[in-house]
Every structure is written in structure tokens, then in C-alpha cells.
Chain A
Amino acid sequence: MHRHEVIIIGGGVTGCAIAYNLAARGLRDVAVLERYYLASGATGRCGAGFRHQWGTKTNCLLAKHAIAKLETLAEELDYPGGIDLKQKGYLILAYTPRMVEQFKKNLALQQSLGIDARWLTPEEAKEIVPVLNTEGLLGATYCPKDGHANPFKVTDAYARAAKRLGVKIHTYTEVLDIKVEGSLKTVLTNRGTFQAPVVVNAAGGHAATIGRMVGVDLPIKPERHQILVTEPVEPLLDPMVISFYHHLYCQQTPHGSFVMGLGDPNEPKEYNERSSWQFLVQMAGKIVRLLPPLKNLRVVRQWAGVYDMSPDAQPILCEAPEVPGFFVAAGFSGHGFMIAPMTGQLMAELILGQPTSLPVDMFHLSRFSRGELLIEPSVV
């Protein structure tokens, strides 16, 4: 039997960031339980991008603060090899008059919050991405400080920093059940029993299953997203290119390979991490039209991961009202990697009962029963 102050379920970027932030604030008796290896869930499978260009004030601020942290994360966490940070912007393409109108609204909001994002004509977009086919393009928005980082290294950096501060990380330890007696929670795993007054659910696509173990109903559903990577080549593409119209994103990593993915609006809501050949064909068709010179690049690998979708595509960050001491940090709906530095900080503040550095009330689970959804217009 292991006794701790806090048990975190899930060794993705969220769980590890929360563990580090708790330990850095002095709460070091923390254990992270991960069923497989660190970053084996959505984190290690994700597109790894981060952007300031959001359509709600809440998300703009969250992203802005989180990205500022990513910029200096390697120093803060003393991670000498770095996290493969690349800041060459995101180019978000507009193909319909409605998109133009919405994007310009988003820009006004972003600029009012001090985010350096701007409108580009198709010609200007082509200057930034010479390989772009501008046919049908009405314009684009661009923020040079957007970019991406290596999710495995970010998670590893948080995990190592947390371990140095005394956090215990148990990999290959799967949570099977949780018993609540008074304020104490007993967590049963395939590798022994753990107890703590505080349990944090950071289980990504499995968050609803963990919630059910303590009788907390979380409206989070897994949704498969597929992605592929090509052979590495010389630098060709600076920014991440996103098209909501085509439901796709594509970027070149510092390693030289291209990583690209599609969102499929008809994807069933079930746990599925298998790849399909249909994805390869669809992805290739769309990207070769959008960035024609990529047709000569070879695909070396494809894989799939799940988004932990919430009804409004926004995370749930709170203490469950019905089970005091049971905290939820899940439902990231496809953008949990980039905000993880802030998720870690905000959750640590919530758990320690400290004032939070950004407002978090709107992320409370109770918003769904109150019908106060936080709709974000800007998601793939």
C-alpha cells in the first residue's frame, strides 16, 4: 500500500505538468499512475502545434500564457536538450466569405489582447508559403509566434523535473478501480494499491471511464484522429498550415519530416487507435492539391490517436462537486498539448486552494447542466 497526498491518473502531458506544478509549489508527495509508458496516449500521437489564434477571449489568453511558458520551458525545467521548439507561425486559410468574416472578428479579438496576428492576402500568404496553391483562397490569418514543440520531450521534461522534486512516477500501472471512503480515496491498480485524499483524473480519452469509478459522470467521448509523417527533407514549409475548410493541418518539423492530419466530421465516437488506408488516400489527395510540391514526398508512417471530446470542445478543469478531492483535467478536444503548461499551473492552484492565475470557473463541469457551453468557433 502506497500512501500519498495526491494521486494523478494519466502520464500524458497534462498529468506530468500537474505533478510538476504541485511539486514546484511545495506539494511533493505526489504519485503519477500511467497504464503504459509516459506520453503513450494522445500526447505522444498529437500534431504538436500551438497557436495564439483562437476565437474566444478565454482560449486566446490561455494559449498566450501557455505559449509564453513553452518558450522558456527547457530552462524552467532544466531540460538541456531542449523541446524542439519551432516558432514559424500558423497560417490559417479562409475559403468562404463567412470564414473571412469570422477570422477578421477573431483577429480583432486577438489584437485587442496583445497578440501579434494579422490578415494576409493570398499573395502575401504565398510569400510566406511559396509551395501554397492559392486557387480559391480568399485570404489567411497569420501569427508568427505560433509554432510547435516535441510533445514527448515536453512530457519527459515535466516528468524529470517532477521526479527531481520527489514525485513518484509509476509507469505500466493501470488504474482498475477507485473506492471512496470519507475523504480518502483508494486506487486499485495492477501493481498494488494507492491511497490519497486527492485524486486527479488526467486520463485523456479514458477520463469518462475513470470518472465512472467514483460515480462522476463526465461528458467526454473519445474521437479518433489520424495523422501521418513523411521522410525528412530540407526546410520547405515555415508555418503550420491549417484549413478548416479542408479539415486539415500540415507542418514541417525541425527534424525535416512533414506531419499532417485530417479531422473527419463523420468519425464515430468510440475508442479507436487503429489506422485506416482511407485516411492515407484522402489526406494525400487534399494535401497534394493544397501544397503541390509535396507530391514527391514519401509517407513513412501513419498512426491514430483520440481526441477527448467534450460537448463544447473545451476542457473540464475543476473539482467534482459530488466527490470532494476528485479533480478533473480532461476533455481537451484536440488542443490539450499547447495549453498543458497552463493546465498544470491552474490545476495545481485549484488543488492547493490558491487563487488561480487565470479565471477557471467557465471550465467547470457544471456548465453543461446549466447549459452554459463555451463555444469556440476556431477548431479543426
Chain B
Amino acid sequence: MLPVDGIPTPEDIMAKMPPPERLARGPVVMVECFQQIPCDPCTHACPRQAILPMKDINEIPRVDYEKCNGCGQCISVCPGLALFVVDLTYSEEEALVKLPYEFLPLPAEGQVVAGLNRAGEEVCPARVVKVVATEKMDKTAVIWLAVPKNMAMEVRHLKVKPRGTTVICRCEDVTLEEIEHLIKVEGVRTLEEIKRLKRCGMGPCQGRTCLPLIAREIYRLCGTEPDSLAWPTYRPPVIPLKLGVLAGGGSDDAQA
């Protein structure tokens, strides 16, 4: 409950929800501002005046949802981090949530992070689609997160997970966590696809170290027997050879 722990109840949230018809048409602002306080930057931030002017600075902001196009320019302006943009039409399976983020380091585009709900609990993996952090935004970045559709009204913050430290592919510096993510979240099932997405097996070792380990992860996570996997072709040369040597220019010292 807001007055007790600062966490809005489902009823509080319902009252702030844009109309369903508007949500169905694409990105739109959601103003999760609950308290009457003397604050109004949002009303000045919107280039389309979608957040309506206040008669009294203590008013709770009101929105003309027809005017809002979901650009998100208001998000970084709100000192209460109360403004979000939600796009339920982002794709078949995913919704997009644009949210304010004031931690460093900023996540990278494409990175998978933990989506947190309003109580700060991890609820799902989320993919960083875009990081907007211009000089003008004064250190409040706006992060675009792709989340499973049913999480669009849940995810309001994110946590950057520390990069895994178990290196599986030494040639190309790929970690166990990255491989697990490909298998569990992206639904990748074959060595060939992992090779092409992460370069595992394309380095000097030609996959001799990493591919058996990756095959074991596929077995652990999906139950596919390593013998029934299609193994990438081992390609010549068996050990790296200098072009100069191949061209007939003497011996390769490092391998002599």
C-alpha cells in the first residue's frame, strides 16, 4: 500500500491505466503519479501538451491520451520517476516498456536484463532495445525494454545482471551464461546456430574445446543427446598456419 511501503495496489494501478482502446493502438504514456505534491515539470515537457496544464501546482497530472504519441520525451523530466510509456503492439509476443533509469553502468542495447516489478522483484527476463541518454536528459536515461506481453503492466524497473564468469569458448570469450541464454530464452537448439551467433568454434581451436561443452549444455537444458546433434564441420587447416608458410616461404617458427 502506498502510504505504508510505497508500492501501489492493483486498484491504484487500474486508476492510472490508459484506456484499453488507446493501448491497443500503440505506445502511450502511463503516469504513475499518486500523490498531490507541488510538482509540474511533466506538463511542460510534453511537446504535444498531452499532459494537461495544471491550475494548481499540487494537482495530480491528467493526460489527454488522444494527444499522446508515446514518444517518451516526458520520462526523463519527472523527478519522481513516475512516467512510463507502454507499447502493447510492439510485436506478437512482446510489449515495449520505456522507463527511466538512473544507475550506472547503463545496460547495453541487446543485453538481457532482469525485469523488476513495482516492488523490485524479478519477474521476467527483459531485452534492452534502446538506451537513450543525451546530455539534455541530465543523467536520467530512458531504457526501452522488450518484455513478454503479459508483463507490460508489471515491469517498471530493471536489474543488470553481472556478466557470467564461466568462459566456455576461450577463443572468442563466450560465457556459459551467454550460451544458456541462447538456449533457454532465444530457443536456439543446434551447435551450428550457436556457432554463427557467438562465433564459438570459429576461433583457432576450431571448436575442439567449446563445442563438446556446448553440446553438454544443450543436453542438460533440452535433453538432446550429443550424438543426435549435427556437428559443425571441422575445417582445414588442423592447426593455424602462416600465409607466408603456405606461400612457400620457409617454416613457421612458433609451430616448429
Contacts and interface: CB of A to CB of B under 8 A. Distances in A.
Interface string B238-256: 0011111111110010000
B236 A80 contact: no
Interface string B91-130: 1111000000000000001100000000000000001111
B192 interface: yes
Interface in A220-237: 229-231
Given A285-B247, A287-B243, 5 more contacts: A37-B193, A80-B128, A280-B236, A281-B247, A284-B246
Contacts of A297: 242-243
Contacts of A38: 193
B244 A296 contact: yes
Interface stretch (A104-112, A131-139, A299-307, A340-348): A299-307
B174 to A, nearest CB: 13
Contact of A44 (B128, B196, B235, B248): B196
A310 interface: no
Interface in A266-288: 275, 277, 280-281, 283-285, 287-288
A298 B245 CA distance: 9
B10 interface: no
Q: Which of A38, A39, A288 has the most CB of B within 10 A?
A: A288
Interface residues of B, number: 35
28 contacts: A37-B190, A37-B193, A38-B193, A40-B192, A44-B196, A80-B128, A152-B197, A156-B197, A163-B92, A164-B94, A165-B91, A230-B243, A231-B204, A275-B235, A280-B236, A281-B246, A281-B248, A284-B245, A284-B246, A285-B248, A287-B243, A289-B247, A295-B249, A298-B204, A298-B241, A300-B240, A301-B237, A303-B235
Contacts of A40: 192
A277 B237 CA distance: 9
B203 interface: yes
Contacts of A166: 92
B243 A301 contact: no
A81 interface: yes
Interface of chain A, main secondary structure: mixed
B237 A299 contact: yes
A152 B200 CA distance: 14
A250 B244 CA distance: 16
A280 B237 contact: yes
A165 B233 CA distance: 33
Contacts of B206: 300-301
B241 A80 contact: no
A78 B92 CA distance: 14
A303 B94 CA distance: 38
A85 interface: no
Interface of A: 36-40, 44, 78, 80-81, 152, 156, 163-166, 229-231, 255, 275, 277, 280-281, 283-285, 287-289, 294-303
A11 B157 CA distance: 37
Interface of chain B, main secondary structure: loop
Interface string B182-208: 000000001011001101001110100
A287 B242 CA distance: 12
A280 B241 CA distance: 10
Nearest to B250: A295
A255 B199 contact: yes
Contacts of B246: 280-281, 283-285, 299
B186 to A, nearest CB: 9
A294 B245 CA distance: 11
A110 to B, nearest CB: 32
Contacts of B235: 275, 301-303
A117 B135 CA distance: 37
Given A40-B192, A78-B129, A255-B199, A299 B109 contact: no
Nearest to A161: B91
Contacts of A230: 243
Contact of A295 (B91, B109, B199, B243): B243
A80 B109 contact: yes
Contacts of B128: 80
Interface in B198-243: 199, 202-204, 206, 233, 235-237, 240-243
Contacts of A295: 242-244, 247, 249
A230 B204 CA distance: 9
Q: 10 tightest A-B contacts by CB?
A: A295-B244, A284-B246, A298-B240, A80-B110, A164-B91, A284-B247, A81-B110, A288-B247, A80-B109, A152-B196
A163 B94 CA distance: 12
B240 A231 contact: yes
Contacts of B247: 281, 284-285, 287-289, 295
A39 B196 contact: yes
Contacts of B242: 295-299
A224 to B, nearest CB: 14
A38 B197 CA distance: 11
Interface in B127-150: 127-130
A165 B92 CA distance: 7
Contacts of B241: 280, 298-299
Contacts of B196: 37, 39, 44, 152
A156 B187 CA distance: 13
Contact of A288 (B202, B244, B252): B244
A277 B236 contact: yes
Nearest to A152: B196
B253 to A, nearest CB: 10
B243 A284 contact: yes
Contacts of B240: 231, 298-300
